[in-house]
Structure 1
C-alpha cells in the first residue's frame, strides 16, 4: 500500500513544478507579467495560450527582421563573402 503515498507525492511534485514553470512564464511574457500566479485550470490555459501567442509574435519579428537584413545586404556595399556568411547565418 506504499504506492498510494508515492503516487500522490509524485503528483504533488508535478503540480508544484507546473505551477513554478507557469510562474516563470508569467515573468517572461510581457502580457502576463502583471497577472497574479495561476491557481486554477482556466488561468493555466490562458497563460499557456498567451505564451504560445507571444512565441508566434517573436517568430514573426525574427522573420521580418531577417527579411529586412537580407534586403539591406542586397543594397549594401559589402564584400560578397561577408554577405554570403551573413545570409548563411540567418537562413
Structure 2
C-alpha cells in the first residue's frame, strides 16, 4: 500500500468505528421498540438490517404525525375550553 493510500484512509479509532457486535446490539434494541419489528429475532444479514432501519424510520415518521395531530387537537380544545388564559398561553407556547 502506498503512503498516499494510507493517508487518505480514515484511522481506526474507537470514536469513529462501531464494531459489528455493537451494531447488532443497537439493531436488536430497535427491534424491541418498533412494533413492526418485535416479532423478528435476528439482524444478521444486510437485507434484514435494511428492513429494521426502514421500519424504524417509518415508525418515527408515524410518531411525528401523531404528535402533530394531537397537538392540533389540543390547540382546538384550548380554543373551545373554559380555561384560564394564562394557562392556555403556556400550553400553546409548549406546543409550538
Q: TM-score range by the shorter chain?
A: 0.7 to 0.9
- Structure-1 residue corresponding to 2:67: 62
3-state SS, counterpart of residue 19 of structure 2: helix
Instruction: Point out where structure 2 has 5 or more consecutive residues left out of the alignment.
Output: 1-11, 13-17
Q: How many residues align?
A: 81
Aligned-residue CA RMSD in angstroms? 1.4
- Structure-2 residue corresponding to 1:42: 47
- Structure-1 residue corresponding to 2:85: 80
- Structure-2 residue corresponding to 1:17: 22
Provide the TM-score with structure 1 as the length reference. 0.85
CA distance in 2: counterparts of 1:76 and 1:14, whole angstroms: 54
Instruction: Point out where structure 1 has 5 or more consecutive residues left out of the alignment.
Output: 1-6, 8-12
CA distance in 2: counterparts of 1:82 and 1:39, whole angstroms: 51
Provide the TM-score with structure 2 as the length reference. 0.81
**Aligned equivalent of 1:29, options 34, 45, 68:** 34
